[in-house]
Structure 1
Amino acid sequence: MEQESPSLECFITDHEGFHGTIKNSTKDFVVIEIDIHGRAVNRPLIPDDPTDLTCTEVRGSSLNKNLNANLRPENTASDEVAVGMTGLNDDDVLSQDCFDLRVILGSSANEALEQFTNRMLVCSGEQKNMEMSLGSFPDKHQRANVHRAVRHNFPFLMTVTNQEEIWVREDPGFKELSELVSEGEAEDFFRFIDAKAPGLAFTFLTDNSKEHRTRIHHFVSRRFGKLVETKSFTDQDGTAITVRLRERGRWPKKRTAADCEKQVDTYTAFTLRKENLETLEAISYMAAALGVIPSDFSYAGTKDKKGITYQSMTVKKISPQRLVELTPEFERRGMQLSRIIPASEPLRLGRLQGNHFDLVIRDVRPHGKCSSTDLETLVKEAVENVKAHGFVNYYGPQRFGNGQSIQTDQVGLALLKEDMNAAVRLFLSPDEGDDLHNKAKRHFLHTGNAKESLALMPACRARERLMLRALHRYGKGRQGCEQAWLSLPHATRLFYLHAYCSRLWNQAASYRLRALGPRPVQGDLVQAERLRHDPTPGATHTPQVHVVTSAEERDNVFSLDQVILPMPGNTVKYPENIVGEWYRDRLAQDGLGSSRFRIPSLKLNAPGSYRPLLAIPHNITYKVHEEPQVTEHLSPQRISLLTLSFDLDASCYATVFVREIMKCEP
């Protein structure tokens, strides 16, 4: 066992390892998603294969996740959303942040719009009838996309088309509602109205003043009465108003098959190949070109930016023919689409078995001095060792914002302690460098002036701008900081809690291995069978958890790859040995207890889950090569490189696997 860092401390294997570098170019890091049937998503299309014609599971609709937690399914009893620790990649919980106006409008028009909105907010009440032209858009799909994206990013604006030109101005209806409720609630309500998502309801905060509720009822009825209906309901917390979409048209009591067929959404499934693009960046480009919203796309998991990646996707309301027509446009953006077929349902996050990796590790060299023959022996010993024994299933450094001065788990801890002010300051802490966004962050920390910092913050930093805008409106006190966090999507807020829990899991795994060794002991948590596919990546649930007894330890009933450790939360079981005591002491050290994984003011709840202590790679192949390298003023030299192919289960990190092989950070 060797110490590497506060989070990734242990190795399972005892070979020597070697040095090398990865991700020197995008072609050195290729990721191919493996679907739930165990097949690569870039395989040739087989028309007669029934699993190629539909996504065989998923019942929910692909709703825009940026709608605030005030939006809820109509039959949900609680506003609090219970989200398990799924072991998602970092970007999974940062998905539906906003419609990318940089892509839709272009950088210059987007910057002009940002300046217009800032000027309008600063001059609110002083200048009336301020308006701005966004330009002409001949294509009606593009116009529709501009309307949706602008209203989504700036709910206090209204958009108007004059011929083919789109103008924006302040929405008087938003201003009227913001005098009845908070601006944050008004923004969420207008996003709900604009989304027109069937099956969702919007609930205003509890209001025990009947007169005030009546004024809200009248406003909604007067402004949106043809679209929605309102109703007051009372529960243990008081009385609140719920708003629901009206049913379209008047259906007969018994619907015909043709009537039902008209309501079925159409989906198109495809495989996306992207290079040097984030998954969400690719979706923004495609949504803008197709005239749909980003949340109309669904996928099983996000993929790395720096590399070539293949993943399955579905898009709603777009035919296969339409997608084929635009493939040349997508190719100019570094994307290629294949396997374009009709589908009956969207994909669901986590609906994959794992990923296949093809890596090139360059400049391979031993830690000490040895010949090239010895190097090949070192590589063979390392790969075969990890192939047989696996590696510690750590979360990779990228989950915590590798290289950032303030890492995401620190923000998560501040949120769990409900220190909203500290969480905001950590979120807005600058990194090294003189980038515009770092200058804006430094200005805020030094002056506390959110208005001036907002003017400095680049338009591309959507989350920071949302938070600064909220701080400008509500102030820097506790309530203002809460509103600042509530201005971010629910998934974004939850991401920081997950980051803290992931860091704690990494530390628990290191402690478990150092303190109790490489075999299951009494009090460990195990599962009697090896993990089968679960829609929640990397997690098993309470009914499968078993506590190792002294007799089972003596008889070596279980193996280390069956040991699981809990991701902290409200409902998990902790080990019944010194590891359980470590969890309790570690949480207490951070000022937390087992019941502190719920933040009602931010509508966050983390029940917890379980993650295997070890990850086992599959289908490993490898080969050491030599290639010439020409350096300036020197004669050509030959350097060694390692090609490495393998499969990992969902939620496992290729960089952690490579670290185990190399016995150093890749």
Structure 2
Amino acid sequence: MKLRQKPEDFIVNEILEYKLVDYGNYSLYRLKKLGIENLAAISYISKNFKIPLNDIGYCGLKDRHAITTQYITIPNEYGRISLDEENLTLEYVGTIEKPLKIGELFGNSFEIVARNIDKNDFLKFAENIDTLKDGIPNYFDEQRFGSVFNGKFIIKEIINENYESAVKILLTNYTKSEKKSLKDLKRFIAKNWGNWDACIKYIEKKQITSKMFKNMIKSLKYENDFKKSFYYVDNRLKELFISAYQSYIWNECLKEILKEKLQKDDRKYIDYSCGTFLFYKNLEKDVFEDIAKIEFPTIAIDKEYEEFENRIINSVLKKERIKIADFKKITFGKLKYSKRPIISIPKNVEIGNFKSDELNIKKYKLNLKFTLNKGSYATMVVKKIFETF
């Protein structure tokens, strides 16, 4: 099975409940983008219209590799703006009283085309589609872990006081989707690690504009202190690093819960970049009713946990060889506490028929439509259908 062979194969529309007013203080805009990372789109709007980043409100991050529609707010003092570019449009909706904040969306609707399907698998996939009524484990998926390379979390390296390792991950590792100029810079830094003069000359020669890279390398040259150089990392990136490790721990906690609830024959493990997801193949009614009620907390400092929560969290942290108190070593940002349902149940599910796939010879495609509550990942639904058999 293949996803995202065409841009229109993965469409995400934000579901937002809002009330327009005649004289609101904030302008509400509909932002549509293709192939652009969420924060990059917001930064582009900020620079293009000279609006401070902190004045642009939004509810959540959207997948880069999709056609996505979401909402943002901008104070009226900046006037009415618009964009109509090939991969980025901004449309004025009206005025509202308060700015949008992270997490305020209701959910997201998805339209997905799964391709390259073998007809011998039709029955297996149809059976898995039928089990969507039992929900799916509500894991954080790969999109949350873009800062993790070779299983190493930058925040865990900092907790273990491996500051050089943390800085090296950031300055030398890259993803396929990054710009060539940035990939080349990171390759050069990796090859010349410790030769900061050479790295500075490269940055100047190639006219690299990133202030973060310039400041971090200069800090290493003049102070040779990896902990201090981390100070120059963009605050939004620091928050993403914290969120990535916090999300991984939550995933591992969910896996521990499912191990307690599921018979071994009902377990199905699927690999991902940070380890494995545990799915269920079959779910008895009483087990479903039990786990459907569970909302599990994210790990945070100085929070009171119930006995069951403490047991699960401590079990995971023991495997990680850390303690909750170790997170106090993080002197920037903070762990955001919330409770998250351990299963997600797709709603408004519409499944098309298997049709001939025009992009893959002798293969078939399948159209999927569904909505999910905020924070849940459509790719988990796809994994449930196409990988758990």
The question of a shared fold, defined as TM-score above 0.5 by the shorter chain, is answered with yes
Taking the TM superposition and a 5 Å limit, the aligned residue runs for 1:178-327 are 266-316=25-75, 317-320=77-80, 323=81, 327=82
* Alignment match, 1:334: 87
Which runs of 5 or more structure 1 residues have no equivalent in the other structure? 1-19, 38-50, 57-265, 519-554, 632-636
| Contact 1:54 1:345 (8 Å CA) reproduced | no
User: Contact 2:216 / 2:229 at 8 angstroms: preserved in 1?
Assistant: yes
Instruction: Write the deviation string for residues 484-504 of structure 1: whole angstroms up to 9, x where unpaired.
Output: 222223332232122112112
Structure 2 counterpart of 1:560: 291
**Is 2:375 the partner of 1:646?**
no
2:301 pairs, out of 570, 574, 577, with 570
Secondary structure (helix, strand or coil) at the match of 2:363 reads strand
State the shift of 1:469 in Å.
3.2
The answer (yes or no) to whether the contact 1:415–1:497 under 8 Å persists in 2 is no
Instruction: Give 2:13's aligned amino acid.
Output: I
Q: Find out whether 1:34 has 2:2 as its counterpart.
A: no
Distance in 1 between the 2:357 and 2:296 partners?
46
**Which residue matches 2:240?**
495
Determine the structure 1 residue equivalent to 2:272: none
CA distance in 2, matches of 1:556, 1:405: 36
Q: Is the 8 A contact 1:267 1:314 kept in 2?
A: yes
What is residue 271 of structure 2 aligned with on the other side? none
Match of 1:401 among 140, 146, 151: 146
1:423 alignment counterpart:
166
Question: What is the alpha-carbon distance in structure 2 between the residues aligned to residue 289 and residue 440 of structure 1?
Answer: 26
Q: Give the whole-Å Cα distance in 2 for the aligned partners of 1:312 and 1:625.
A: 33
Q: Secondary structure at the match of 1:559?
A: helix
Whether contact under 8 Å (2:261, 2:287) holds in the other structure is no
Q: Specify the alignment match of 2:273 in structure 1.
A: none
User: Structure 1 residues 607, 592: closer, same or farther in 2, change over 3 A?
Assistant: farther
1:154-193 matches, within 5 Å, as: none
* Paired position in structure 1 for 2:194: 448
Asked if the contact 1:625/1:641 (under 8 Å) is kept, the reply is yes
| Partner residue in 2 for 1:544 | none
Distance 1:618 1:398 in 2: 22
User: 2:94 aligns to what SS in structure 1?
Assistant: strand
TM-superposed CA distance for 1:613, in Å, is: 1.3
Any idea what SS the aligned residue of 1:620 has?
strand
The 1-side partners of 2:159 and 2:104 are apart by 29
| Contact residue 622 and residue 644 of structure 1 kept, 8 A | yes
Q: Which residue of 1 aligns with 2:217?
A: 468
**Residues 400/460 of structure 1: CA separation in 2 closer, same or farther (3 Å cut):** farther
Aligned counterparts of 2:188 and 2:73: Cα–Cα separation in 1 = 42
Partner of 2:385: 661
1:568 is displaced (CA, Å) by 1.9
TM-score, normalised relative to structure 2: 0.80
Write the letter of the residue equivalent to 1:568. Answer: I
Percent identity for Structure 1 against Structure 2: 22
Once the two structures are TM-superposed, the CA of residue 293 in structure 1 deviates from its matched residue by: 3.4
- AA aligned opposite 1:304: D
Instruction: Specify the code of the residue in structure 1 equivalent to 2:79.
Output: S
Aligned partner of residue 495 in structure 1, secondary structure: helix
Match status 1:484 vs 2:233: no
Using the alignment, how far apart are the partners of 1:55 and 1:401 within structure 2?
41
Q: Are 2:4 and 1:23 equivalent residues in the alignment?
A: yes
Amino acid at match of 2:136: F
CA contact (8 A) 1:570 1:596 kept: no
Report what 2:126 is aligned to: 380
Give the Cα–Cα distance (whole angstroms) in 2 for the partners of residues 299 and 582 of structure 1: 33
Of structures 1 and 2, the larger Rg is shown by 1
- Return the offset for 1:25: 1.4
Q: Which residue of 2 aligns with 1:611?
A: 340
Q: What is the alpha-carbon distance in structure 2 between the residues aligned to residue 504 and residue 314 of structure 1?
A: 32
Instruction: Measure the CA separation in 2 of the matches of 1:275 and 1:429.
Output: 27
* Contact preservation (8 Å) 1:34, 1:354: yes
CA distance in 2: counterparts of 1:564 and 1:581, whole angstroms: 15
Q: Counterpart of 1:583 in 2: which secondary structure?
A: helix
Rounded Cα–Cα distance in structure 2 between residues aligned with 1:588 and 1:620:
39
Quick one: which amino acid aligns to residue 485 of structure 1?
F
- State the match for 1:414 in structure 2: 157
Note the alpha carbon deviations across 1:302-340, whole angstroms, 9 max, x for none.
2112221111111222323xx2xxx4xx22342233343
CA RMSD, Structure 1 to Structure 2 (Å): 3.2
Deviations 1:460-502 (A, max 9, x none): 65543442233234x22xxx32322222233322321221121
Structure 1 residue 360: Cα displacement? 0.8
Alignment check: 8 A CA contact 2:7 2:66 kept: yes
CA contact (8 A) 1:566 1:572 kept: no
Q: Per-residue deviation at 1:32?
A: 0.6
Find the aligned partners of 2:43 and 2:66 in 1 and give their Cα distance: 19
Runs of 4+ aligned structure 1 residues displaced above 6 Å come to none
Q: Is the 8 A contact 1:271 1:312 kept in 2?
A: yes
User: How far apart are the structure 2 equivalents of 1:598 and 1:506?
Assistant: 21
- Compared CA separation, residues 405 and 570, structure 1 to 2 (3 A): closer
- Please give the alpha-carbon distance, in whole angstroms, between the structure 1 residues aligned to 2:343 and 2:288: 17
TM-score, length of structure 1 as denominator length? 0.49
1:515 paired residue number: 260
2:317 to 587, 593, 596: 587
Residue of structure 2 aligned with 1:343, choices 92, 96, 100: 96
Flag the 1:607–1:270 CA change in 2: closer, same or farther, 3 A.
closer
Aligned partner of residue 652 in structure 1, secondary structure: coil
In 2 relative to 1, CA 432–338 (structure 1 residues): closer, same or farther, beyond 3 Å? closer
